[in-house]
A and B are shown apart, each in its own frame.
Chain A
Amino acid sequence: MEKPNQPAGSLPPVAAEADSSEVAVPRNWRGITRPLTTLVIILIGWEVIGRYVLTNPLFFAPLSEVAEAAVQLWSTGELQKHIWVSFSELMQGTFAAIVFGIAAGVGIGISQRVRDYTEIYITALYATPLVAVTPLLILWLGIGVFSKAAVVFLTAVFPILINTAAGIRSTDPLLIEVARSFCGTRSQIITKVMLPAAVPFMLTGIRLGIGRGIVGVVVGELFGARAGLGYLIFTSGQTFEVPALFVGILALAAMGVGLTFAAQLVERYALRWRRSTEMDGS
């Protein structure tokens, strides 16, 4: 991806040497400077549009006012509270989904019988948008953290479970046979061969689960809550406080980005035994 930024008529630089001698910025800095440039352009665009194009304060707000609202919400401690509530709902639900999803996924992956009893229902539940049961969960569990954690659990558990089961089942039969030839017991084959073989699948499931879980948190808080970023967005919308509404959205975006980044770090560490396919970025 190294062609559009040459002046017309000039030859492409000869691979890496020409590249790094001509530009003082080292290669890995570009991974930061380039997306940062995009961000700056978007933020300036936002400010300009908010000031001169969408000037009705009921519909939009320039970035500076959003920033002001953020500072204000932060100074009263309100923003931190909303972030913390949403974050803990997400973490509790995701943690439960990981524990249950992996355990059930292993059970389903290793046992044909369990599969016969459950598989089509799990597939059906995976395909159902389970956020739809949120009102019911709020009726059952109240408007506190618990009901939202339950929504997160329900939305996040199926991708984790299904991916774990798929990973267990796709274990290379040769690797199982090696363990058998060394007199491995069934439980050793599960823990030392199938589980590690399924780790990449589990991580994919967890990443998908977290993505769905964030949606679950927001939807849950829209339906009924006392705090949380979804609650902040909902109440700000009802009172036409557009800057505060944007603060909520931006905080959610930041949470999503942060968790994705953390997931990538975990993945990179857990899968360090894999042939690295895309290590450099230019």
Chain B
Amino acid sequence: MTELKTGVRPATVSVEHLEMVFTARGRRQKALEDINLTIAPGEFFVIVGPSGCGKTTLLRILQGLAHPTGGRALIGDREVTGPGIDRGFVFQQDALYPWRNVTRNVAFGLELQGITKADAAKRTQEMIELVGLTGFETYYPHELSGGMRQRVNLARALAIAPAILLMDEPFAALDALTRESMQRELLRIAAAAGTTIVFITHQIDEAILLGDRVAVFSPRPGRVREIISIDLPRPRPESVKQSPEFQAYVGHISALIG
């Protein structure tokens, strides 16, 4: 397995009194209300909440793709004003470039940074190995399964060595077996690199299995209902799901989401 070195020093991700109001069709709609979070360097932070509660919106604000109507988001002590290569984003949908093969999709972020072809090639190949896609370098997205495409998505985000990885329901579209193997790989990669991860899911068991802490959001407008520390020892095998502690977390979070 390849060691992942992050180019940027890990930093605290924090959000202060964040508010997001959309105006669509003349109607003002509050998507996020007074969100306050502090995510430690290297932490695996999970957000769960019902659909439409503003999870994607929050992640886009952290990435600098959207600007809040109130409050602010910070990386370390710097306010987020736009995208940065300290952050990698794994999109919810299949967001690969259909005209680029696996290698060129993974290399996309490096290419935009103007990294020389030779350096990019080495790094790209490492990432492809890391996500287990060796042998598929020249395949185009339409020739890959959903799980493989999501691996490419992940490899592309990891290639720029982000200190913070923002993941928007990355495994939602995968079948159970593929999801489990992707979860394991993600944990392995994150632990090796010390990457901070903000991970969105609507699956409660996924949240508990992966997270150091889980924030439960309320329905629209999204608010933090509770932040729960998951005190389960790592590594957490599949069998941990049968344990009474795990079940207690599931019961607690289910009740919160209601």
Contacts and interface: CB of A to CB of B under 8 A. Distances in A.
Interface stretch (B93-101, B174-182, B184-192, B201-209): B93-101
Contacts of A183: 82-85, 112-113
A168 to B, nearest CB: 15
Contacts of B65: 177, 180-181
Contacts of B83: 180-183
B93 A174 contact: yes
A239 to B, nearest CB: 53
A241 B78 CA distance: 84
Those 10 A-B pairs whose CB atoms lie nearest each other, nearest first: A182-B109, A181-B89, A275-B142, A273-B99, A273-B140, A184-B112, A182-B112, A196-B99, A178-B95, A183-B83
B103 to A, nearest CB: 13
B142 A188 contact: no
Contacts of A113: none
Interface in A249-282: 272-275
B112 A188 contact: yes
Given A174-B91, A174-B93, A182 B160 contact: yes
A30 interface: no
Nearest to B160: A182
B91 A178 contact: yes
A30 to B, nearest CB: 27
A272 to B, nearest CB: 8
A199 interface: yes
Contacts of B142: 273-275
Given A174-B93, A274-B142, A182 B108 contact: yes
Given A178-B91, A182-B112, A275-B142, 20 more contacts: A174-B91, A174-B95, A177-B65, A177-B95, A178-B108, A180-B83, A181-B87, A182-B83, A182-B108, A182-B113, A183-B82, A183-B83, A183-B84, A192-B111, A192-B112, A193-B97, A199-B99, A273-B101, A273-B141, A274-B142
Interface of A: 174-175, 177-185, 188, 192-193, 196-197, 199, 272-275
Contacts of A274: 98, 142
30 contacts: A174-B93, A174-B95, A175-B97, A178-B97, A178-B108, A179-B112, A180-B65, A180-B83, A181-B63, A181-B65, A181-B87, A182-B83, A182-B85, A182-B112, A183-B82, A183-B84, A183-B112, A183-B113, A185-B112, A188-B112, A192-B111, A193-B97, A196-B97, A272-B140, A273-B99, A273-B101, A273-B140, A273-B141, A274-B142, A275-B142
A197 B100 CA distance: 11
Interface string B65-95: 1000000000000000011110101010101
Contacts of A196: 97, 99
B141 to A, nearest CB: 8
A88 to B, nearest CB: 33
A199 B109 CA distance: 22
Give the most central of A174, A178, A275: most B CB within 10 Å.
Answer: A178
A184 B114 CA distance: 10
Contacts of A193: 97
Nearest to B66: A177
Contacts of A275: 142
A272 B138 CA distance: 12
B75 to A, nearest CB: 14
B115 to A, nearest CB: 12
Contacts of A184: 112
A3 B83 CA distance: 59
Contacts of A197: 99
Nearest to A196: B99
Contacts of A174: 91, 93, 95
Give the most central of B65, B98, B141, B142: most A CB within 10 Å.
Answer: B98
A272 B101 CA distance: 11
Interface string B133-149: 00000001110000000
Interface in B104-121: 108-109, 111-113
